[in-house]
Amino acid sequence: MSNRHLSRTIAMQTLYQWDFLGNDQKDINAMLAFNREEFASNFDDGGFAEELVAGVLANQKEIDELIAQFAPHWPLESLTLVDRNILRLGIYELKLSPNVPSKVAINEAIELAKGFGGGSSGKFVNGVLGAIYKDMVEKNQLKDVDKSGEAGSGSAGEDKKKEEEQIPAPTPSESEAE
């Protein structure tokens, strides 16, 4: 597991706890420290997990609006906590994190969904993030890192750029909120 993937796992676990416990940001640093110790003691990612959590929380309203727009058949509150927070993390990296290539953001979110979500979570996350990416392309809103064709995310190229076929956002009959 790459360092960046481990950081994303720690960030996702922290966002899951934060959401489960009622969105109280006063304890977020303690949750992050606990998850870092639990999953990767003595691990230094240069603050990447903290950056991800802070970025999602700072942009939560915009991110949640994008989920509602691109997964219209799935009200935010009906999504599982895991899927909801993987989408939040993926959307933050896809749209708002300037150093993470879009395809890396999508692939990493899919891998988290496959590892932590239900049987259809990977396809669901792929569909939602793929639809957002398609919208970004159509509106010429790609990030500079995408336009330059860089494969890495600015951290010694740890992230692998994987091409995955983008599928349209699923409808309730194609996916289930577990």
Of 80, 77, 63, 66, whose CA–CA distance to 175 is shortest?
A: 80
Q: Identify whether 108 is part of a domain.
A: yes
Q: Identify whether 164 is part of a domain.
A: no
> For residue 49, what are the domain limits?
3-147
How confident is the model at residue 11, as a pLDDT? 95
Q: Identify whether 71 is part of a domain.
A: yes
CATH number at residue 45: 1.10.940.10
Q: Identify whether 153 is part of a domain.
A: no
Q: Identify whether 44 is part of a domain.
A: yes
Whether pTM exceeds 0.95: no
**Would you say 76 and 68 are in contact if contact means Cβ atoms under 8 Å apart?**
yes
pLDDT tens string for the chain (178 positions)?
678 999 999 999 999 999 998 877 778 989 998 998 888 877 778 789 999 999 999 999 999 999 999 999 999 999 999 999 999 999 999 999 999 999 999 999 999 999 999 999 999 999 999 999 999 999 999 888 888 764 443 433 333 333 333 344 444 434 444 4
- 164: tokens are 């995955």
Domain total for the chain? Answer: 1
How confident is the model at residue 151, as a pLDDT? 43
List of residues 6+ apart from 83 with CB closer than 8 A: 113, 117, 118, 121, 124, 125, 177, 178
Q: Identify whether 56 is part of a domain.
A: yes
Q: Identify whether 152 is part of a domain.
A: no
Q: Identify whether 162 is part of a domain.
A: no
